[in-house]
Structure 1
């Protein structure tokens, strides 16, 4: 199972707070921790732990955080030969409440120095992989070039449109699986996703623009999927939530693994739901995944 992944690498600075800080307010944190993060890195680590060969294309800074981030990916089994060093490593400042809610301030750093030229230098990675997995914490023109190359080689392309902004139809028509959350779905389509019918309408709009399948993550409400042949709802699993940071990334990494190994869409989503449910019971976005979740 070979997955090429183009995306972000961050260091997460996590602060436990009683509630998300308000405008103009100073709030004392009761606990502080440092974790490895970045949507790309989170998804890569998840997929690697689930048995995939993950080839990462991205950038970290020429600093201690960058060295630590590369060592972490390598130790988690991710292939990092195509991770370059430039500038300062990306960081995320994360507030986490006792209820498990979070708010994030993102410093892109080296992630926004990932260029189309870097992608073109690694074309062989796309041609030898079955799946390309991407997010939007790197420049959009870089995402577009990676998708163009993978699409040319007829690979499965999974785009997690986070953090979201409007995407050109020329990109959407090359996406095999688009995986927004409820908020991102509304921002992508301009349709309020407050009802089930609205969610269906928003998904239909994206399918009309050429997306192969839309998989919408809905937090505690589970997920919804739709393509031109089928649609359905997948319930969330009931767990004791500690930290929701990285839940969506775990879902995407596991979904890529399921699809890469040839599982059906529904089975792949069930698998991704199980992995994401475990991750929210742990602190940090890259917890070790137990062997019991590998199937």
Structure 2
């Protein structure tokens, strides 16, 4: 498989009390997609600094393609602390390189050959990266898959950004906490499934994924609903688990698997990632061989 799958947006170092690990939801997604045999690309920006050089070295070691423009801004970092359940809490530094991703000729050329892109709201907190994301998606082939992994963080989002992103997307991923925030922004009433149904219908989405932590997950399409319980595992941390869920689902979906089978794989892979430390662990061989025939 040489289909190009891009994670577009933030790339950064998640800095834990005892270590730092490479992160950023789009980069996590691209890495896991690449593990399934796709031509994964991380598209973002770094600073001309040691942390930026370390990102390049790390991506080289992981074998992930990248298009990372150098900027005059520092490479992004996030201070991460884990609560007793292993759930991360974030302190996200502002005015960093990934806030200022330029749209270059190289970026446009990549967009024209991209089958799938995953983007979120966080990298759109700054107008420079927001405009680059819009231009990238506009330049993609008409029949491509455009995934809005909403990824609401702190106060770095608005109804306008969510609306414009959904207008560009044909697939959405959201969690149970984010559903409540979106419903409040839109002034909508109803339970989680009703809100998801309204998003699916109003924005003419092909797929909407709702994750609910230990309470399972749903995949909604205009024609069907799939539910999967969350496996009970001993959680090391949940950083990147949602991104691996999205990548596994998309890998199976693009390979022509049924929605429920793609959903099952996504649940298994994200549970496996919860067993590991960091957002980009190497997946078990049993997953990696699935589509390499």
TM bucket by the smaller chain?
Answer: 0.7 to 0.9
Alignment correspondent of 1:7 = 9
| Contact kept? 1:127, 1:153, Cα under 8 Å | no
Alignment correspondent of 2:53 = 67
| Contact kept? 2:117, 2:146, Cα under 8 Å | yes
Query: Root-mean-square deviation (CA), in Å?
Result: 2.2
CA distance in structure 2 between the aligned counterparts of 1:204 and 1:219, rounded to whole angstroms: 20
C-alpha offsets along residues 95-154 of structure 1, whole Å, 9 cap, x if unaligned? Answer: 113431221111141110014x33x6523323323211212231233333333333x522
Alignment correspondent of 1:176 = 170
Alignment correspondent of 2:100 = 113
Structure 1 residue ranges without an equivalent (≥5): 16-31
| Contact kept? 1:133, 1:256, Cα under 8 Å | no
CA distance in structure 2 between the aligned counterparts of 1:225 and 1:50, rounded to whole angstroms: 21
Given the alignment of the two structures, is residue 146 of structure 1 paired with residue 139 of structure 2, yes or no?
A: no
Alignment of 1:88-237 (within 5 A): 88-108=74-94, 109-115=96-102, 117-118=103-104, 121-139=106-124, 140-150=130-140, 153-163=142-152, 164-166=157-159, 167=161, 169-190=163-184, 198-207=191-200, 208-237=202-231
Cα separation, partners in 2 of 1:92 and 1:9, compared to 1, 3 Å? same
| Contact kept? 1:48, 1:76, Cα under 8 Å | no
C-alpha offsets along residues 71-93 of structure 1, whole Å, 9 cap, x if unaligned? Answer: 2122212112x211111111011
Structure 2 residue ranges without an equivalent (≥5): 125-129
- Structure 2 length normalisation: TM-score? 0.85
3-state SS of paired residue (1:288) = coil
CA distance in structure 1 between the aligned counterparts of 2:241 and 2:230, rounded to whole angstroms: 12
| Contact kept? 1:176, 1:211, Cα under 8 Å | yes
CA distance in structure 2 between the aligned counterparts of 1:56 and 1:244, rounded to whole angstroms: 21
CA distance in structure 1 between the aligned counterparts of 2:178 and 2:192, rounded to whole angstroms: 11
CA distance in structure 2 between the aligned counterparts of 1:205 and 1:141, rounded to whole angstroms: 27
Alignment of 1:32-71 (within 5 A): 32-71=18-57
- In the TM superposition, structure 1's runs of 4+ consecutive aligned residues that sit over 3 Å from their partners are 167-171
